[in-house]
Chain A
């Protein structure tokens, strides 16, 4: 049977989700295997080395770099409070001494006899990693972090901004075609994850920001409005580190595009549940897509867990979505996968798929299709 590898986004009603929670540097893991954790629980912590200040004692005291060692009043490794003296010249007959003080609380790390510089290291910076999702500690990686496992609804978006966030899921749009407007967003949505249909305007998203909404999940947003939110033009799709109270997850793309019905229905079904979302996106090798994780209560589990192994490829019958103009956003079933190259209107020769969309068979490049992966 004809068969073609096509990427797809996951929309899974019940899935075993594993999340690695790893420290940037080695440190201490504070939970044990099989511990139950809530999203805000700290699971590991460490200290990043402090910032470095370099002070050119030779220049400040107007002495030869080779003599700097002799005038230092503190030893290497010593802890020094802000403003304390670190070097002093002998002066003339004990008079007219000049000295040099540290600008910060620090530890003396090294002294150079070639440049006259001393290196001062500030206090270490504490870093903590939380659990992000409700679940169990499936694995402890000593000194590095943990793997949290949960059974959950798992939905991938196509693009997002803002990092990890969480809150109660509130579906505001009546259907997947309906825009999420500013009027729908109210003060009581503070700290919640709100869901719209096809689109959110800049004004509506700004209102969500001002009301401290935890997150917005919606079909589309205008690319050119991102600049006003981010303060710069987004050149490459690498996001997640933006300092935004309201993370944004787009399920379809840029522009007004109705949300996939499966995605919308699934979100609606779990209205009111506690949800973790992450807008972080990286579209490069090692792709990261934004995600929505809705941990399921034991009574919700049906046991038909979908293994997250995909990419069996599309075959006749597969449900696919078109991801490029002129049929962008349309969903249909694969009718055939002819092996020979075909000429498009652009005269590009490509491998194609014949897709039945609303009872009309259309010829679309296979590269412009996305598997709608459901369970």
Chain B
């Protein structure tokens, strides 16, 4: 091993409401989570010092682990000879609203989209995308920039050596708006220029005086190549230098950490990217919070992240209702409920966001809304995670009947290997079956897909551990991140097997034979409209899957697939509801189907008790 072998690692995530600390130790079974602690975040008045919340969370870790970590208000690191303290301390942060950016590009669907991808990948919230062709007049753009007050701006546009006037025009609009940063009145707004290198001098002349301007490599040097790395790195640097340094207590916190503080979603994204690369698999990760839903994906080796800023389970719950419509929320509710009463209940959750569902009916309503929030966020993600637009395609005669253009979505559900969910409504669902059902209903996986949930949402801390740059610490910290992710972070729910194709109700879709570790061979038949559940632990299970003539389970229509699948806490779910999946528009039939599936998957105690059919 290169570098130092770490024995204990302490990591915190300063969220907008809660600061979470985890302690990782090297054991005989490798790196494992020892304990966790949490405390309210203290960025806002009356405390206005993030380190107070950090110390409180660490104190809880100290109490639970018995390890002395603090010496007064100081984290002991590296570990002392008397076995007090930890080897490394790292942190992520999304407190104070996280990193809020505005991006600008000449063409909205090309450099604008690349700039947005870079900003999202770095973990920021993109407040708006300005483009020469976005249909707004210059004074409207200026008004918008002034209103938003972003933390920083990423400006791109033009291929290297191309025309300069368009990107300079954007710079002139920025200069005319003369935006002020959100936090701190006494510093200039950071602007990153990542466009045509030929325009650098003119950009400097336009923005050099009034902003804190950084020049980096072009994000789109030629149309066919997207170069996001330098922009992402620069965003992280500026996040530390400017945004974090302005937030209360962060200067102190930055002095404590052994690696730069990362924006929370940036850390989660890099962890998912690392896992996908290591396992050579396609992964979708989702974090559904109170205000926003983040989706991360890796398909064909390409990482994408989107933030659905107003789709969440508490602060934004009414926006889910507005965007999804009441009809779409109601279609997941297996009971008859008064619509006016339902909207008032959802409204009351928005204005009292910290409440929890006490009755089964309340839980069912929340989980119906979660399905819609996840579904809508995933639609947004699919339309954003696309191949580069504006790229000329080379075609041969064999492509004549398959003319997919540039800008096609990369998300291919049949290719998806692993779907990971996190966030309160998924991680804390009273039954794991509920989490699995919510994800299956919202994401509609096709073929064979493993599902998992993050047990206690520690992906941010593991993400920042995996990103430590210091040569002495990097290898050990990365190993720890991967091992804890595998062993303690992920709760393997099982695998969803969903044949794709249209079939008549009640017709046979799939015959399957599984070689289960404890009970031996099991043969099942899956019919249209049914869901089956087979309890099976998380272990490799040999499977022979024989789809009917018009159905595809991964190898083509009617093709037999011999493969291995993995069970989990829930087991194997065989979903025969069809792909595409449609719910009946007839209310009584829909409620009957929902209750049938609910009973088949052991989802709720007994919906008949509260009026289900």
Q: Please indicate whether A and B come from the same complex rather than being unrelated chains.
A: yes
Taking Cβ atoms with an 8 Å cutoff, the residues of A that contact B are 7, 49, 51-54, 65, 109-110, 112, 114-115, 117, 119, 158-159, 222-224, 233-237, 253-255, 281, 283-286, 323-326, 328, 344-350, 364-365, 367-368, 370
* Contacting pair A347 B430 (CB below 8 A): yes
In this complex, which of B97, B139, B202 has the most chain A Cβ atoms within 10 angstroms of its Cβ? B139
By DSSP majority rule, is chain B's interface helix, strand, loop, or mixed?
Answer: helix
**Which chain B positions have C-beta within 8 A of A235?**
310, 316, 318-319, 321-323
Q: A345 contacts which chain B residues (CB < 8 A)?
A: 358-360
Task: Give chain B nearest CB distance to A199 CB in angstroms.
Answer: 11
Please tell me if the beta carbons of A324 and B348 are within 8 angstroms of each other in the complex: yes
Q: Which residues of B from 344 to 378 have beta carbons under 8 Å from A? A: 344-363
Q: How far is the CB of A127 from chain B (nearest CB, A)?
A: 14
How many angstroms from the CA of A347 to the CA of B322 in the assembled complex? 29
Whether A367 lies near B17 (C-beta < 8 A) is: no
- Chain B residues with CB under 8 Å of A254's CB are 343-345, 347-348, 351
Q: Kindly state the separation between the CA atoms of A285 and B318 in the bound complex, as whole angstroms.
A: 17
B549 at the interface (CB under 8 A from A): no
B340 close to A (CB within 8 Å): yes
* CB nearest to A115 among chain B residues: B169
When A114-B164, A114-B202, A255-B341 are in contact, do A323 and B347 touch as well, CB less than 8 Å?
A: no
- With A54-B173, A54-B176, A236-B350 known to touch, is A350 a contact of B318 (CB < 8 Å)? no
B275 on the interface (CB 8 Å rule)?
Answer: no
Contact B139–A52 (Cβ < 8 Å) = yes
Nearest CB in chain A: distance from B310 CB, A: 6
Determine if B319 and A236 form an interchain contact, defined as CB atoms under 8 angstroms apart.
yes
Residues of B within 8 A of A115 (CB): 165, 168-169, 172
Q: Is the CB of A346 within 8 A of B315?
A: no
Contacts A52-B139, A237-B350 given; does A117 touch B169 at CB 8 Å = yes
Chain B residues, Cβ within 8 Å of A346: 357-360, 362-363, 430
A239 smallest CB distance to B (angstroms)? 11
Given A283-B351, A325-B359, A344-B357, 18 further pairs, Cβ under 8 A = A54-B142, A109-B176, A110-B172, A114-B168, A115-B168, A119-B175, A223-B346, A235-B322, A236-B350, A254-B344, A324-B356, A324-B362, A326-B361, A344-B358, A345-B358, A346-B357, A348-B357, A367-B355
**Interface bits B297-331 vs A (CB < 8 Å: 1, else 0):** 00000000000001000011011011100000000
Q: Is the CB of A52 within 8 A of B355?
A: no
Our pick among B172, B340, B355, B428 for the contact of A324 (Cβ within 8 Å) is B355
What are 12 A-B residue pairs whose CB atoms fall within 8 Å in the complex? A51-B143, A52-B177, A110-B176, A114-B165, A159-B351, A236-B319, A254-B344, A324-B348, A324-B355, A328-B348, A348-B356, A348-B357
User: A238 — nearest CB in chain B belongs to which residue?
Assistant: B315
| Interfacial chain B residues near A348, Cβ < 8 Å | 356-358, 363, 428, 430
Contact (Cβ within 8 A) A222 B355: no
> What residues of chain B lie closer than 8 Å to A65, measured between beta carbons?
165
Are A324 and B318 within 8 A (Cβ)?
no
- Is B44 at the interface (CB under 8 A from chain A)? yes
Smallest Cβ-Cβ distance to A6: which chain B residue:
B354
Contact assessment for A117 and B310 in the assembled complex, using a CB-CB cutoff below 8 Å:
no
Q: Which residue of A110, A158, A325, A347 contacts B351 across the interface (Cβ within 8 Å)?
A: A158
- A224 near B356 (CB under 8 angstroms)? no
Q: Do B97 and A285 touch (CB < 8 A)? A: yes
Q: A255 vs B346: C-alpha distance in the bound complex, in angstroms?
A: 11
A112 to B428, alpha carbons, bound, how many Å?
A: 57
Minimum Cβ distance to chain A for residue B304 (Å): 25
A285 touches B139 (CB 8 A): no
Do A284 and B315 form a contact, CB below 8 Å, given A52-B138, A347-B605?
yes
Question: Is the CB–CB distance between A158 and B352 below 8 Å?
Answer: yes
Interface residues in B, total, Cβ within 8 A:
58
The closest CB in chain A to the CB of B165 belongs to A115
Q: Which residue of chain A is the closest to B142 with respect to CB atoms?
A: A52
Q: B44 contacts which chain A residues (CB < 8 A)?
A: 285-286
B387 CB–A CB distance under 8 Å? no
Closest Cβ of chain B to A74, distance in Å, is 17
- With an 8 A cutoff between CB atoms, is B522 at the interface? no
Measured between beta carbons, the chain B residues less than 8 angstroms from A286 are: 44
Task: Determine if B76 is an interface residue (Cβ-Cβ < 8 Å).
Answer: no
Interface residues of B (CB under 8 A from A): 16-17, 43-44, 96-97, 138-139, 142-143, 164-165, 168-169, 172-173, 175-178, 202, 206, 291, 310, 315-316, 318-319, 321-323, 340-341, 343-363, 428, 430-431, 605
Chain A residue contacts of B16, Cβ below 8 A = 285
- Scoring B321, B352, B430 by chain A CB atoms within 10 A of each residue's CB, the highest score goes to B352
Query: Bound complex: CA of A237 vs CA of B315, how far in Å?
Result: 7
Contact B318 A112 (CB under 8 A): no
Is B322 a contact of A233 with CB atoms below 8 Å?
yes
Query: Taking CB as reference atom, which chain B residue is nearest A256?
Result: B344
Decide if B348 touches A253 in the complex (CB within 8 Å): yes
Contact B360 A368 (CB under 8 A): no
Residue in B43, B206, B344, B349 whose CB lies within 8 Å of A255: B344
Contact A7 B354, beta carbon cutoff 8 Å: yes
Contact A233 B139 (CB under 8 A): no
Q: Are B360 and A53 neighbours in the complex by a CB distance under 8 Å?
A: no
Q: Chain B contacts of A253 at CB under 8 A? A: 344, 347-348, 351-352
Q: Are B343 and A223 in contact (CB under 8 A)?
A: yes
Closest B residue to A348 by CB, please name it: B430
User: Considering the chains assembled together, what is the distance between the CA atoms of A346 and B603 in angstroms?
Assistant: 11
The answer to whether A223 and B172 touch (CB under 8 A), given A255-B341, A284-B291, A324-B355, is no
Q: Which A-B residue pairs are the 7 nearest by beta carbons?
A: A235-B319, A223-B347, A347-B430, A233-B322, A346-B363, A254-B347, A54-B138
Q: Please indicate the chain B residues that have their CB under 8 angstroms from the CB of A109 in the complex.
A: 176
Q: Which residues of A contact B350 (CB under 8 A)?
A: 236-237, 283
A residues less than 8 Å from B177 (CB atoms): 52
Distance between B166 CB and nearest chain A CB, rounded to angstroms: 8
- Rounded to whole Å, the gap between the CB of A362 and the closest CB of chain B is 10
Say how far B426's CB is from chain A's closest CB, in angstroms: 14
Taking CB atoms, residues of chain B closer than 8 Å to A159 are 351
Complexed CA–CA distance, A224 and B430 (Å):
30
Contacts of B43 in A (CB 8 A): 285
Complex: A218 Cα to B477 Cα, angstroms: 57
A52–B174 Cα gap in the complex (Å)? Answer: 11
Specify which chain B residues have a CB less than 8 angstroms from the CB of A51 in the assembled complex: 139, 142-143
The distance in angstroms between the C-alpha atoms of A234 and B322, with both chains bound, is 8
Q: Give complex CA distance A117, B141 in Å.
A: 15
Given contacts A222-B340, A236-B350, A328-B348, contact A119 B356 (CB under 8 A): no
A285 neighbours in B (Cβ, 8 Å): 16-17, 43-44, 96-97
Instruction: Report whether B168 and A233 are in contact in the complex, using a CB–CB cutoff of 8 Å.
Output: no
CB closest residue in chain B, given A121 = B176
CA distance A159 to B43 in the complex (A): 24
CA distance A158 to B360 in the complex (A): 25
Which residues of chain A are within 8 angstroms of B345 by Cβ–Cβ distance? 254-255, 325
Interchain CB contact under 8 A, A364 and B358: yes
Residue numbers in B under 8 Å from A53 (CB-CB)? 138-139
Contacts of A365 in B (CB 8 A): 355-356, 358
With both chains docked as a complex, state the minimum distance between the C-beta of B332 and any C-beta of chain A, in angstroms. 16
Of the residues B168, B178, B318, B352, contact of A236 by C-beta under 8 Å: B318
What separation, in Å, do the CA atoms of A255 and B319 have in the docked complex? 18
In the complex the two chains form, what is the Cα distance from A206 to B99 in whole Å? Answer: 41
What's the Cα separation between A347 and B429 when bound, in Å? 9
Candidate in B97, B164, B354 with the most chain A CB atoms within 10 angstroms? B354
Across the interface, name the chain A residue whose C-beta is closest to B325.
A233
Nearest-neighbour CB distance to chain B for A173, whole angstroms, equals 20
Taking a contact as CB atoms under 8 Å apart, the answer to whether B172 and A54 are in contact is: yes
Report yes or no: A347 in contact with B176, Cβ–Cβ below 8 A.
no
Q: Separation in Å of the A6 CB from the closest CB of chain B?
A: 9
- Nearest chain A CB to B455's CB is how many angstroms away? 15
Q: Which chain B residues border A347 with CB–CB below 8 Å?
A: 360, 363, 430-431, 605
Residues of B within 8 A of A344 (CB): 356-359
Cβ–Cβ < 8 Å partners of B346 in chain A: 223
Query: Please, which residues of chain B bring their CB within 8 A of the CB of A110?
Result: 172, 175-176
- Select the residue from B16, B164, B172, B341 with max chain A CB neighbours within 10 A: B172
